[in-house]
Chains A and B, each alone.
Chain A
Amino acid sequence: MIVPLNHILLLSGLLFSLGMFCTLARRNLIMMLLGIEIMLNAAAVAFVGASLHWQQMEGQAIVIFILAVAATEVSIGLAAILVVYRRTDSVDPAMEAALWEKGGRP
């Protein structure tokens, strides 16, 4: 293996942090969704690296699984965002919270 495991884990960690920052800090639902995607992919990178390192195939299988989950998640997430956008003309999560405050809360 040419690339040492540590480097792969470092990359994965960096990616994860970026994704987390994106999710937590951006005031845009779509960007938050992207952040989540990035975090998922960071995990996938770590899985691939680990799978190569220990010569175990399960890691790669899980990556396939993650890709599938990510695809469904994005499709549902985007659909939800679309609905929200139609109702509020906004993709701001704070606006969403304000709406809940107003009367949506049970």
Chain B
Amino acid sequence: MQPATPLPLSLIVTAAALLLPLLAFGVIMLATRSRHRLSAAISIGAAGLSLIAAVYLLVQHWQMQAPLVFQTVWLVSGQMAIPIGILLDPLSLLMLTVVATISFLVQVYSLGYMAGDPGFGRYYGCMSLFAWAMLTLTVSSSLLQLYIFWELVGLASYLLIGFWFDKFSASEAGKKAFVMTRTGDVAFLLGLVLLWLQLGTLDIPVLTDPAAVAAALSPGMITLTALLIFGGIIGKSAQFPLLTWLPDAMEGPTPVSALLHSATMVAAGVYLFSRLFGYFSLSPTAMAVCLAIGTISMLLASSMAMVARDIKQVWAFSTISQLGFMLMGLGSGSLFAGVFHLTTHAGFKALLFLCAGVLIHRFHTNDMFEIGRLGGRRLKATVVCMIVGAAALSGLPPFSGFFSKEMILGQLLASGHPTAFLAALLGAFLTTYYAFRLIFILLFPLETDDAGHADGHGAHHGAWGERAMIAVLVCLAGVTVVLGFFEMSLHDFLARGLALDEAAPAHFTWLPMVAGTLAVAAVLQAWFEFGRKKARQIGWVERIPILADLFGQRWYLDRLYRYLLDTLVYRGVSRLFTANDRRVIDGALDGLGRSTIGLGRVVDWVHGGMIQYRLMIMVAAVILLILFIGWGG
């Protein structure tokens, strides 16, 4: 790879963007953890500089023609060489900017949200760790490096979910998240190693070059490795069947949920898919599996979101479902549709979570009915921002989600997946329904509490913290409103560096109409059930007990996993092996010890004090000796 023109500056800027958060992490954890303000300043400073660097790189390379690769070797051992490097192409630049932006905004927001927490310094340390790992992940030049930072991102997620480790549920959720994503990563690592053995390199530019790959690998091997790597994506992006960790991960602080568990970290799976899009598209099976998994996850999660009462849970389910939606877009063969939805989703989902965070911060409850009752609608700016976010999520024009969703729908239709298309329409309908269900519950509570109660709460954290939170919300809402109109320029930008095979995004003139109508219908239904004056605020799902139960119990997936874990692992293999250790191995050993002692006793008796036995043995020995000699002679 010959790096193109402005090598040193781009390299330095990227390296700075990556290493500053690491530095911040080190400094905070080693030195300034107990000094809260300073820690926050260091972390936000680092994130801000990273953001500036990322924006600079994006602007600088807006017209880029060929990807830039800087690579050096981290470790060499025999045949194994682990490179570390930076790959700058439109995709990674876009993702870099998205991650840096949301990171920065969320860190600013946390100033207000986390104020007064005893672990404030630790919080910012972990946030910096995450920022470092995630930024480096996005610009990784080789799959192995990506895997390494993928794991580190998981570590940051573990630490942040379990941030309030006093709570059993939080530490349990952190553990669950780590182990479930690890399960996916096992497949990922296996696929990686297989790929490395076959190909001899894991550089992303090589992997995405269809000619090189097809020459070196058999189609079966491509499918196998693609599916194994997809296992990692399933784990990280919380897709079916490894989706149950994400709702639990909401135990973490809300800004963490906004940053890690909706906008960036969970999107890393989808990002990996887009990164290796060229590779995946070589295997029709892998693409079909991706489409199927995406569809299933999207529908499952949407159904769960319809009955959730916890405001964060709703957005968590929605995240799973939107990630599934992105995978549908990618699986149907359109890189741009998936990436575009990833970008818009990052914006509006972070917005939704942060709005929820403001409400939770103010009212100290996650229950949407409770928040509505306590007067959530009086926080005007927040509620407006939330409506903007929900509209984007629902795909209502002119918000950003409308454009990206419509593109995925169009792509599904154009690539000849009518079933998936219908499922996607259904999913979009359900999404709109549950989003506006939440909004209407907040806006039109059945009964309201006294007004003074709510205001008493918010006052005690300095006003500037609150203002920072609101400012972040407004920023994100602004992005959500305008981002959709940059569709074409983003497409051109991505098309310059990547082989986008579709000439232009597929457009069906009737599609926006249908999608829009559906969305409006869903809003109307939600209004009918939850919004209008005499609504009883009981959704149609709740009137069907079987469905309500099924959805409310998350399709019993959690119970099933818990049962399997208990019976197979704890009570099964683990107990069996332990018993083997205690009984068989140690038993045999102790038996050996005891029988040695027993044998000693027997021998002991022979040459015990009884003199005549000794004599007898002597005589016997002599007789035997004589016989032996007589025989021989």
Contacts and interface: CB of A to CB of B under 8 A. Distances in A.
Interface of A: 20, 23-25, 32, 93-94, 96-101, 105
A93 B612 contact: yes
Contacts of B616: 24
Contacts of A23: 612, 615
Q: Residue among B609, B610, B611, B615 with the most chain A CB within 10 A? A: B609
Instruction: Give 9 closest A-B pairs by Cβ, nearest first.
Output: A97-B609, A100-B609, A97-B610, A93-B611, A24-B616, A24-B612, A93-B612, A97-B608, A24-B615
A105 B611 CA distance: 14
17 contacts: A20-B619, A23-B612, A23-B615, A24-B612, A24-B619, A25-B612, A32-B611, A96-B611, A97-B608, A97-B609, A97-B610, A97-B611, A98-B609, A99-B609, A100-B608, A100-B609, A101-B608
A32 B609 contact: no
Nearest to B604: A101
Q: Is the interface of A mostly helix, strand, loop or mixed?
A: helix
A100 B613 CA distance: 15
A16 to B, nearest CB: 11
Contacts of A96: 609-611
A42 to B, nearest CB: 14
Contacts of A20: 619
Contacts of B612: 23-25, 32, 93
Nearest to B615: A24
B624 to A, nearest CB: 15
Contacts of A94: 610
Given A93-B610, A94-B610, 5 more contacts: A20-B619, A23-B612, A24-B616, A24-B619, A100-B608
A18 B553 CA distance: 95
B598 to A, nearest CB: 17
A20 B623 CA distance: 13
Nearest to A96: B609
Nearest to A32: B612
Contacts of B615: 23-24
A2 B610 CA distance: 45
A98 B605 CA distance: 11
Contacts of B609: 96-101, 105
Interface in B79-128: none
Contacts of B610: 93-94, 96-97
A60 to B, nearest CB: 26
A32 B610 CA distance: 13
Contacts of A32: 611-612
A58 to B, nearest CB: 24
Nearest to A99: B609
Interface in B582-633: 608-612, 615-616, 619
Nearest to A25: B612
A99 B619 CA distance: 25
A93 B619 CA distance: 18
A79 B608 CA distance: 23
A25 to B, nearest CB: 8
A97 B610 CA distance: 5
A49 to B, nearest CB: 20
Contacts of A99: 609
Nearest to A20: B619
Nearest to A36: B615
Nearest to B611: A93
A51 B568 CA distance: 90
A36 to B, nearest CB: 10
A23 B619 CA distance: 11
A100 B609 CA distance: 6
A94 B611 CA distance: 8
A25 B615 CA distance: 10
Nearest to A29: B611
Nearest to B618: A24
A98 B616 CA distance: 18
Contacts of B608: 97, 100-101
A96 B614 CA distance: 14
Contacts of A100: 608-609
A94 B608 CA distance: 10
Interface string B6-42: 0000000000000000000000000000000000000
B95 to A, nearest CB: 82
B603 to A, nearest CB: 15
A90 to B, nearest CB: 13
A66 B616 CA distance: 23
Contacts of B611: 32, 93, 96-97
Nearest to B616: A24
A23 B611 CA distance: 10
A41 to B, nearest CB: 18
Name the residue in B608, B611, B619 with the highest tally of chain A Cβ atoms < 10 Å from its Cβ: B611
A92 B483 CA distance: 111
A32 B614 CA distance: 13
Contacts of A98: 609
Contacts of B619: 20, 24
B585 to A, nearest CB: 36
A100 B608 CA distance: 8
A26 to B, nearest CB: 8
B208 to A, nearest CB: 83
A70 to B, nearest CB: 18
Nearest to A105: B609
B602 to A, nearest CB: 15
Interface in B310-367: none
Contacts of A25: 612
A32 to B, nearest CB: 7
A24 B612 CA distance: 5
A33 to B, nearest CB: 12
A100 B604 CA distance: 13
A101 B619 CA distance: 24
A27 B151 CA distance: 82
A77 B611 CA distance: 14
A20 B616 CA distance: 9
Nearest to A27: B612
A99 to B, nearest CB: 7
A34 to B, nearest CB: 14
A59 B608 CA distance: 38
B396 to A, nearest CB: 98
Interface in B518-533: none
A97 B615 CA distance: 14
A22 to B, nearest CB: 11
B590 to A, nearest CB: 27
